[in-house]
Amino acid sequence: MNILLIVVFALLFPLVHLFNGWLFHFTEITPHIALVYLPAFLRLAHVLILGRWSGTLATLLASFALMLYLGADGFSAVVNSLCSAGGPLVALYFFQWHWQREVQLNSLKDLIWLTLIYAVANSVLHHVVWSLVDPSQLHQPDQVIWMVVGDLVGTLMGALLLRWSVLRYRSYKLLQELE
């Protein structure tokens, strides 16, 4: 079952990326940065739903496939995929270290903090790596800020949807128990 979920999540990511590009094309700053980036949430959702390692694997596979589909060379595809898969882990470990506990999916406060940490961690991680190994992806000096904004908006939209789903599921389960 876990392998099937990894594959499903890995296939969903590129589809949401392409949909996001079509729907929010007008918010694009560079080919890798938009002011609304819904797949940013999927990276975080992978590790929240599948667990740290299975979720990271799903993101790694999805990102690598997407990079190759978009025509990135092998090295660039690997580097970008590692950044995409690493951002959620950095955010989760930082959250756990700082608050000394796991993220509560039904807590709006936790999800907002995790979203903020993730958006910053993901953007900084990408830009540090791009600066070191692929400076051609650096188009504007302020693009790291725009990437934070896009990841924050996309992740927050997804996190709110996740919280709503968790609360609805719990309400549904409670109603079933009462019957």
With b for 16 or more beta-carbon neighbours within 10 A and e for fewer, the 111-121 pattern comes to: bbbbbbbbbbb
Element (DSSP H or E) covering residue 30? strand 28-30
Q: Are 75 and 136 in contact (CB under 8 A)?
A: no
pLDDT at 1: 59
The more confidently predicted of residues 153 and 134 is 153
Distance CA 120, CA 108 (A): 18
Q: How many angstroms separate the Cα of 135 from the Cα of each of 47, 76, 129, 161, 166?
A: 29, 11, 9, 35, 41
pTM of the model: 0.86
Beta bridge partners of 34: 28
Share of the chain above pLDDT 90, in %: 66
> Could you give the domains of the chain?
2-173 (1.10.1760)
Taking residues 144-158, what's their average pLDDT?
Answer: 94
Beta bridge partners of 30: 33
SS3 of 77, please?
helix
Q: Is the pLDDT of residue 175 over 80?
A: no
Q: Is the pLDDT of residue 7 over 90?
A: yes
Q: Is the pLDDT of residue 86 over 90?
A: yes
> Which residues make Cβ contacts (< 8 Å) with residue 66, sequence separation at least 6?
13, 14, 17
Instruction: Indicate the pLDDT class of residue 40, thresholds 50, 70 and 90.
Output: very high
Highest average pLDDT, of 1-5, 25-29, 148-152, 168-172, comes from 148-152
